[in-house]
Structure formats: structure tokens, C-alpha cells
Structure 1
Amino acid sequence: MSRAVIYDTFGGPEVLELREVPQPHAGPRAVRVRVTAAGLNPMDWGIAARPELAAQFGIALPSGFGYDFAGVVDEIGSDAEGFAVGDRVYGGAMGRAVADFVVVETPPSAAEMLWHTPEGISDEVAATLPVAGMTAAAALAAVELRSGDTILIGGAAGGVGVFAVQLAKLAGATVIGTASPSTFEFLRRFGVEPVAYGPGLADRVRALAPEGVTAATDLFGTETAEAARALGVSPERISTVAAGPNPPGGVRATGGFDAAPESMARITDSILAGRITVPIAATFPIEEIREAVTLQADRHVHGKIVITL
């Protein structure tokens, strides 16, 4: 037997249960990963709480929980390609990550990801990368960010935001990031000019950037996208990742699955070179999954939350 976080009904953290389940095994073209760390994302508890969102991701009850994981390959199918027992790996498996074992096909299916973990990157850090890193890369690529841009990033202190602001700075952009005032000093460490979200956002941004904003990405809802439109940013240079497939005003909807294949290598190379920092706000053992998700859902965490197994 092994352990997995399971929920039978949709709801808040209280529906999550740590249960004993039969050990999964690798099929002919699959590998089994002994999970050591799982990174949490807002979409994880969103899927567990909202049936309509779960349906979009093909999740049916009962379901496992989480997407991002890191660990070690401990079982391999006879026809699996590219991996061997003992390899350190990280990736994503929809609704299955927070468990002792995850089975992933090789090559991964459209809803899965799997990479070798570079030497020098811990499992805890690797487990934060798939959703947040790839989503940040896709959000910036959608607006064709380039050196000299001034970009407004909504939700800059969140899990995706900490990658987006750093990638934008590496691209040579000036970054203005929306956040709560309690996170301003945190964002300034990354070279970001913080601005409070809420009513009057466009006016506050205009005061910070009198020469104008040239691009924007909204990592939470539509407030930042609407402010960017009010500031005269062209819709094709505004992206959203959490406003549904058809955001208002002709702006570009995107997500992690749209990221270029080489995006993750660029991110891990930048981490190893010290150009990107991955702030881990807290780690929790799997037994404290409800406490971890409660903290994640509060949306005032500076960085990522990781479950350890």
C-alpha cells in the first residue's frame, strides 16, 4: 500500500484526506516516480473546490490532488524511453501529484510533464517549477515581451508572479507588479516597482510610469488587463492566464501548456546561474495537507508552498 491525498466531494481544504491506496505500477511505456516533494498551485485547490473547473481539466470524483511533483524513478516499463531507475525527475500529473507514487507515460501525454532534475537543483525547488515556470513563460511569450518594454504584471508576488517578474527582468523589461502593500518589499528585491491592486489601479500605474506601459499580463482575474487597456496598451500585448478561454477585449488567453518546449531549460539554467531565485514560503509534510492548502488559498503567500513526502 501507499499514501495519496484523495477527495470524494468538491469543497475546501476539509475535503482532502490522506488515505492508504494500492501502489500504482508502471505500464510498458511508463515510469513510476517515488515522490519526495509536491508543489502547490492555486489551480489545485480551485479544481478541488469548483466542479466546473474540474470538468475543464478532465477531473472526476473521487480524485487525487495536485499537479507538480519531484522525486526519483523507482520502476520502469519494458518500453519506456529516456529514463532509468534511479533518475531524479520532476514534472506534472493532473490530480495525482500529492502521493507517494506517480506513474507517467513516456513520452508524457498532453496533460503530463516529465524532465530530468538538473544537478544542483533540489527536489523542493524542482517541485515548484512546472506550472508556475511554464505559465510565466507562456504569459510573457504571448505579449512578445522584449528589451525596453515596461510591463504591468498582475499578481506579481504569487507563485507564477515570482517567475514572471524575474523572467521579464532578464528580458530587459521594466516591471511594475500589482500586489498587496505587505508584499512590496518582497517584490522590490526582484527589481520590481510594486503598485497596490484594487480600484484606481490605472491611475496609480500612470503615476509610476508617465511614459506609458507597453505590455501587461494578468495572472489573477482581469483587473490588471482592464487597467492596461485603460492605459492604452494594445490588446495583443495583454495576456491573461486565469480569465477563461475568451477574456474580454480581445486580449490573449494562455497557460503553461502553451509555453515553448525550451522554456523550462531556460528557467533551470537561470536558477543554476543565480539569475532566478525560487522563494519557498513554507513546506508541510503530507499529513498537514489541509493546513498547507488553507495557507495557499489565502493568496497572501510570498512564493511557493511545497508538500514533502
Structure 2
Amino acid sequence: MKALVYDRFGSIDALHIAEHPDPHPGPDSVVVKVVSASLNPVDYKIREGYLQGGIDTILPAVIGWDVAGVVVRAGFDTPEFQVGDEILAYARKDVVSGGTLAEFVEVPVRTATKKPAELSFEAAAALPLAGLTALQSVRRSQIAPGTTVLIHAAAGGVGSFATQLAVRAGARVIGTARPGNFDYLRSLGAEPVEYGPGLVDAVRALAPEGVDTILDFVGAEAMDTVPQLLRPGGVVTSVASPRARDEFGGNYVWVRPDPDGLAELAELAASGELHVEIAKAYDFEQYADAFAALESGHVRGKVVVNVNS
């Protein structure tokens, strides 16, 4: 099969499409013909070697964890799925090796759920990692009706979902973004503020007593403003900095596969209750352009790659 692989750590130049052995299903996994996959910042961080010591990589590795496609083979004990089922998955395994940017991928059943017929493959592929990160961040923070939540990078892949989920939970949401994304955030139910200098004053103008919850999808500078913006007894949750947990007593979230949570997100998206923002969908051969867009840091929503469209 054709797959997007890297056999050394490095930049986009380390990636290339190559012939790769077809995957085989394990006892509790299925082989999926990939229709669409989506990209996440963690993909290029792993490719660049930043997570060595945190998760092992077996080279040459196929990149990618998000997938939507069709089951073509099933393992010995996979009653959840049959050949022909359309599924989506956050197909993270214990090591980085057989990823989703390929014609076929082995998917553990513990990472997958069936795709609703009303949901496109592109939208389904955009949901798993970002959607589950948002869902688990919102739930870990115990966001409740009537609370005020500050979401950093609210227009990004994770932030777009977190904004909508927090609004659905009954919270008032203030979201940081570039001015060009302000109208987009308003459409999701958030009050936008510009990140960078003046952020603290802008948030305090909207929430003079501070906010009840901070969801951080940026790290670094966002953590520096926590003491100035979080109310006493408030909760900060970050996917980018352990300071949220170690310094402020909050949560540091590393998203886990969760088929039930993924099914919930897929149904919300299929019914139109959860908007899936796709920045652009690229053909497989345009993978370099897709990663360049992702790594620019200015993407609204998700970058999708169509493999077998």
C-alpha cells in the first residue's frame, strides 16, 4: 500500500509517500480503508522528535492518528464492527508506527465508533483527537451552567469544539483569537478577545472579577496570565503545559481514546448541533501543503487529507 512515512526525525522534508507493508488486524482490531484523515499539531511534534521519551516511535513510521474510513478486515474478537462498516477513530496506539495517512490502517476497536450516515468522511476524520480533547477538557474542568470560561486559541481545531461544548454546558465563553476570527467565534456563541499584549485588560473588561475556568490550548504565555485572570477557587486545564496541574492545582490533559465520547461527538455533528470547521481538505499528494498550513499556526478549524476519496 501507499503510505506517508518518515524514516528520520525532522521537518516536512522528512515525509514522503512510499510503498509500505499492508497492515493486519490484531485480535481486537480492524483494518480500515482510509477515506479521510486529519492532521494535528502532535503529528508534526512527534515527527520532529519532540516527544521522544514520552511515546516511542518505530521508524520508518506512518504519520497520523485521526481517521475515517471503511472496515475491510476484522480481527478474531471484534463484535463491535463488521466488514463494510463506516467508522471514525482516534487510532492512537502504544507506540507510533502504523499511522492513518495511508491507504489502509489497523485500528484498535477501543479507539473507534461507527460513523453516522449523515456525517461526511471529511467531517468524521476531523473529529477524533480534537473533539475528544475538547470534550475531556470540558468535563475534567466540571464546567457548569452560569460559569464564565476563558478559552485560549478558541478558533483552532480543539478550541472550536471546546467553545461549542462549553456553551452547550451553559457557560459564558470568552475566547482568544485573531481579529479575523472574531465573527467566527461569535457564531459559536463566544465573546472574542485578541490574544497578545492587552489580553488581561480585555478579559477583565468583560469579566471584572475574573473567570471561573481557563481552558488552555496554547501553553507558555497563556499560563503566565492565570494568576491575573482566574478567580479564587477557579480551575485551569491545559493540554499544552503541566503548569496548569503542577503550579495552579488544575488539570493537564493528554487525550485518551474514548469510543463512547467519540460516538457522542459524531452524533452531535451529524445532527448539526456541533459544527465541524474544516480549514481545507487536501489530496494525498498535497501532504506537504497540508502540513505547511497546519504548522503555520494560523489555521481555523481542522486540516484534512483525503486518501481514498
Task: Tell me whether the two structures share a fold, i.e. TM-score over 0.5.
Answer: yes
**Alpha-carbon shift at residue 192 of structure 1 (Å):** 1.2
| Rounded Cα–Cα distance in structure 1 between residues aligned with 2:179 and 2:263 | 33
State the match for 1:29 in structure 2.
28
State the match for 1:19 in structure 2.
18
277, 280, 283: which one pairs with 1:279?
Answer: 277
- Contact 2:213–2:230 (CA<8 Å) still a contact in 1? no
Cα distance change, pair 282–180 in 1 and its aligned pair in 2 (3 A): same
1:116-265 matches, cutoff 5 A:
116-234=114-232, 237-244=235-242, 247-257=246-256, 262-265=260-263
SS in 1 for 2:173: strand
SS in 1 for 2:51: helix
Check if 1:289 corresponds to 2:292.
Answer: no
Check if 1:307 corresponds to 2:296.
Answer: no
Cα distance change, pair 66–55 in 1 and its aligned pair in 2 (3 A): farther
| Rounded Cα–Cα distance in structure 1 between residues aligned with 2:154 and 2:260 | 23
Cα distance change, pair 23–260 in 1 and its aligned pair in 2 (3 A): closer
- Contact 2:280–2:304 (CA<8 Å) still a contact in 1? yes
TM-score (norm 1): 0.91
CA RMSD of aligned residues (A): 1.9
| Rounded Cα–Cα distance in structure 2 between residues aligned with 1:289 and 1:32 | 22
**Alpha-carbon shift at residue 261 of structure 1 (Å):** 5.9
Identity of aligned pairs, percent? 39
State the match for 2:9 in structure 1.
10
| Rounded Cα–Cα distance in structure 1 between residues aligned with 2:229 and 2:30 | 49
State the match for 1:72 in structure 2.
70
TM-score (norm 2): 0.91
Deviations, residues 259-290 of structure 1 (Å, cap 9, x unaligned): 87643233223223322110111011111111
Cα distance change, pair 285–99 in 1 and its aligned pair in 2 (3 A): same
**Alpha-carbon shift at residue 133 of structure 1 (Å):** 0.7
Cα distance change, pair 214–27 in 1 and its aligned pair in 2 (3 A): closer
Deviations, residues 240-275 of structure 1 (Å, cap 9, x unaligned): 001148553333111321x87643233223223322
| Rounded Cα–Cα distance in structure 2 between residues aligned with 1:192 and 1:8 | 42
| Rounded Cα–Cα distance in structure 2 between residues aligned with 1:208 and 1:236 | 17
SS in 2 for 1:139: helix
| Rounded Cα–Cα distance in structure 1 between residues aligned with 2:26 and 2:302 | 32
State the match for 2:45 in structure 1.
46
Cα distance change, pair 66–144 in 1 and its aligned pair in 2 (3 A): same
98, 103, 109: which one pairs with 1:100?
Answer: 103
Q: After alignment, is 278-287 or 93-102 more displaced?
A: 93-102
**Alpha-carbon shift at residue 199 of structure 1 (Å):** 3.0
- Contact 1:202–1:228 (CA<8 Å) still a contact in 2? no
| Rounded Cα–Cα distance in structure 2 between residues aligned with 1:3 and 1:48 | 18
Q: After alignment, is 204-213 or 128-137 more displaced?
A: 204-213
- Contact 1:156–1:162 (CA<8 Å) still a contact in 2? yes
- Contact 2:281–2:306 (CA<8 Å) still a contact in 1? yes
The residue type paired with residue 45 of structure 1 is: Y
SS in 1 for 2:118: coil
Deviations, residues 101-158 of structure 1 (Å, cap 9, x unaligned): 111234x3xxxx1111112111111111110011001111122100101100011111
